[in-house]
Structure 1
């Protein structure tokens, strides 16, 4: 399918990076590469924090995360954008994983560890479900 782009003063990123018509496949590919970055971040930063310590991880990962997310703003094309967002996602998930281990597992004694982790997951699940229930409820609001 051929597309005709009308000449105008400014374009958005979709038009500038030619993500229209026949190139729409690049958008789901970008999301897939981001999720691969999440997977690789879990694998890499998990091993990194076990080998070098979580303090080293928290000294190293934020610098990479800041740099890659800053450079994402200046990405010249979809390919550079995709790689940089995958690197950012890998760093974020690595830091999240390490902070979960430190905050919820290492500081809690063995006796209460399972209870605390399960309670955290229950609260997370409720926080996910409650907005859905609220959107399904037919509640009429009236102004007073």
Structure 2
């Protein structure tokens, strides 16, 4: 499985920890930046990772900023992206099982490195259940299509 990861300057240090953790688990990870903790803007990295996932170049993405909120909002502006902000493993797991999320976001000011690892592990281990949930994901896609058509 190929994963894309990105952050802003606030999430930079936690991103390094998560990249190392993902490598230990055997995942192929591409870092979309930044390459330092120099002040930057989270929408840049939310968009980069989201576009790579939406294009099918990567299976899933992970984003980190101070809270996970801003960077996930940015990612969700890209067609085909269902980014979720999670601060605990249960919601991360269910977001994949029920909502087929394709980007996970969390905040370095909200979760520590060990909790972040647990969140990532649960999210990556979960699989979309389909069934009754597939209808709802299709409804979300229809909203996205309609919104894009209306401009």
Task: Give TM-score, length-normalised by structure 2.
Answer: 0.25
Structure ranking higher in strand proportion: 2
Structure ranking higher in helix proportion: 1
Q: Which has the larger radius of gyration?
A: 1
Task: Give TM-score, length-normalised by structure 1.
Answer: 0.26
